[in-house]
Structure 1
Amino acid sequence: MELYQLRTFVTVAQQGHLTQAAELLHLSQPAVTAQIKALEEQFGLALFERYPGGVQLTEAGKLLMPDAEQILAQARDLLHKGKALQGEPKGKVKIGTIGVPARLRLGAWLSLLRDTFPLITVQTTHGISVSILNEVRKKSLDGGFYLGRNPYQNVMTLPLDEIGFCIALPVSMAAEYQNADWPKLGEAPWLGLSQYTSLADISQELWRSHNLAPKVVGEFDEEATLLELIKSGVGIGILAERTAQRFASDGSIVLWRGGEVVTRAPLQFIYSGDRVSDPMMHKLCATLKTIWNLG
């Protein structure tokens, strides 16, 4: 069964006349007759009754008519959708992510991107800020999320938010340090941070601003690792405010001075300066602005 046969069936039924249907379909009457006959043979049913003034549907034809019309309507919709996609942007983009996906509003962004530009495919790579920055500079990634200040002029930034940070303490150290002043905090064991993460710069700036030179325990590069080590009593460290508040609420950690925000860092979407005029990058940034209510 072919769509053109169904189209002929529906047209003949609507016109009630083979000649008039043939004119609308730009076919000869014998061609129309042949198509109807072919359908009747496939169904094993007579679809029309012939009479001197034209044709009319049999009872079987009347039952099949709505389904034939629905199939033709779906075919038209499919054709229109396909034509609409001709001008849609298409291709794969590689995006670097950091930290907690919810903090990046990653799910909402990728959902909007898929709904708005269905032919764009996204591949994500999780890492730490400095590695994402380097991959964007090398153009191994089309774009990515970055926490901290961007030091490169050839990397463009779309500011999204500012993340506040709190000092988190193990429960075992709460009595000694929960309300301590900065010099006293400097005596505590602090969790060190890898030079490849933006948290290292954030911590160093915080220590310098308060003239601290704390004893550093280890070197770590993920917030999840810091959290586990704080819970385990290894040392104190900085955590993003929302993470800190969430785990302080269940008593697994304690926050210095009740969760005072001690420093902030910009969260940004970054991409190569060579992509400023790239339509694909415009679409990525436009949908990010929508999700982050940036106007």
Structure 2
Amino acid sequence: MEIYQLRTFVTVAQQGHLTQAAEVLHLSQPAVTAQIKAIEEEVGMPLFERTAGGVVLTLAGQELLPQAQDILAAARQLLNHARGLKGQLSGKVQLGITLTPDILRVGELVVRIAERYPLLEVCLHQGVTGDVLNAVRKKELDGGFYLGKNPYANVHTVLLDHLPLRIVAPPGWLARINAANPKELGRLPWVGISQFSSLSKIVSELWRELNISPKKVSECDNLFTAIELVKAGVGLSLIREQDALLAEARGQLEVVPDIVKSAELQFVFSADKAADPVLSVLVSELSAVWQLV
């Protein structure tokens, strides 16, 4: 039995679906199916049951999964130890960034890494939160920043901060309604948020909490475009509190009082990379930059 076959077995078990496992492994579905079949033939028993929604582990599969995970962890530990024997960390680390570099403290992070690990090059890739998380899950990025709750079991997170968000409206709009009644906010148009942005889920969650279902006008995929659309009079939106209060002080928009929505700002990385020396460096430096306990 080969290490790559065990990796396929564990990934299929985690994803519960052959197609999704193939996507994570960067293999075709027939290749994944063939590897699972080869393992089952070698152990002499089925490890998965096929269902309409995907696959689930048999009792034998459930029994073997922890050992397979331990073997893969040991193999990663061996590889990481071998890399460490070469001396100083070197190479490139691919990071996905969302929001803006100042909010994420990216400048301070890169400076710290450059000073302490001069052979380690940090490559930054700007993207929408959902795309960054998906790229991390597929291991196309070593890590990234994500706003919201992480839905994947095979992606680890480090909580950096809770960002307060506020509902904002174009100047003069709040005079048209009783802003003290949250349902009144559902009568006004809102700036739509792309489904590829985690902000979309946060806005939907807020709407459920307020028990409103407003009309969406236009669509964007980041907080800063949303601010400009609100200033232009398109509709209401949910933006970062610091930006909202600053724009209100300049008379560019109005902040809805007494409603604050908190969103988790997290650093995400693949669970398979948890013991990687480069990830250990990133998490350590991020902890210093964000002053995490």
Would you call these one fold, judging by a TM-score over 0.5?
yes
Q: Let me know the Cα RMSD of the aligned residues.
A: 1.3
Q: Identity rate of aligned residues, in percent?
A: 39
* Cα distance, 1:178 vs structure 2: 7.5
Instruction: Give distance in 2, aligned partners of 1:187 and 1:205.
Output: 18
Counterpart CA distance in 2 for 1:186 and 1:273 is: 40
**CA–CA distance in structure 2, aligned partners of residues 109 and 122 of structure 1:** 10
Map 1:25-64; keep pairs closer than 5 Å: none
Question: What pairs with 1:182-193 in structure 2 (closer than 5 Å)?
Answer: 182-193=182-193
Question: What is the rounded CA distance, in whole Å, between the counterparts of 1:225 and 1:286 in structure 2?
Answer: 33
Shift in alpha-carbon separation, 1:200–1:177, aligned structure 2, 3 A: same
Look up the match of 1:206.
206
- Partners of 2:159 and 2:266 within 8 A in 1: yes
Shift of 1:177: 4.2
- What residue identity is the alignment partner of 2:152? Y
Q: Distance in 2 between matches of 1:177 and 1:216?
A: 18
Give the superposition deviation at 1:162.
0.6
* Structure 1 residues 178 and 211: alpha-carbon distance in aligned structure 2, compared to 1, 3 A threshold: closer
Highest Rg: 1 or 2? 1
Deviation at 1:210, TM superposition (A): 1.4
Which position in structure 2 is the counterpart of 1:268?
Answer: 266
In the TM superposition, residue 153 of structure 1 has moved relative to its aligned partner by 0.6
Where does the alignment leave 5 or more consecutive residues of structure 1 unmatched? 1-85
CA shift at 1:218, angstroms?
A: 2.0
The gaps in structure 2 that reach 5 residues or longer are: 1-85
Q: Are the counterparts in 2 of residues 177 and 256 from structure 1 also a CA contact under 8 Å?
A: no
1:7-156 to 2 correspondence within 5 Å?
Answer: 87-156=87-156
Q: Does 1:235 align with 2:235?
A: yes
AA aligned to 1:283 is V
How high is the TM-score relative to the length of structure 1? Answer: 0.68
Native 8 Å contact 2:178 2:184 kept in 1:
no
The size of the alignment, in residue pairs, is 208
TM normalised by structure 2 equals: 0.69
For the 8 Å contact 1:169–1:178, the answer to whether it is kept is: no
Tell me if structure 1 keeps the 8 A contact 2:169–2:230. Answer: yes
Q: How much does 1:262 deviate? A: 2.2
| Distance (whole Å) between structure 2 residues aligned to residue 234 and residue 119 of structure 1 | 48
Contact 1:160 1:292 (C-alpha < 8 Å) held by counterparts: yes
CA 234–153 in structure 1, closer or farther in 2 if over 3 Å, else same: same
Partner of 1:111, secondary structure, is helix
1:223 correspondence with 2:232: no
- Give the structure 2 partner of residue 280 of structure 1: 278
Structure 1: which 4+ aligned runs deviate by more than 6 Å? none
Give CA-to-partner distance per residue, 1:96-147, whole Å, 9 cap, x none. 0001211111111111111111111011010111100011111111100000
Counterparts of 2:155 and 2:177 in 1: how far apart (Å)?
Answer: 41
Aligned-pair CA distance for 1:233: 0.4
Code of the aligned partner of 1:182: P
SS of equivalent residue, structure 1 residue 293: coil
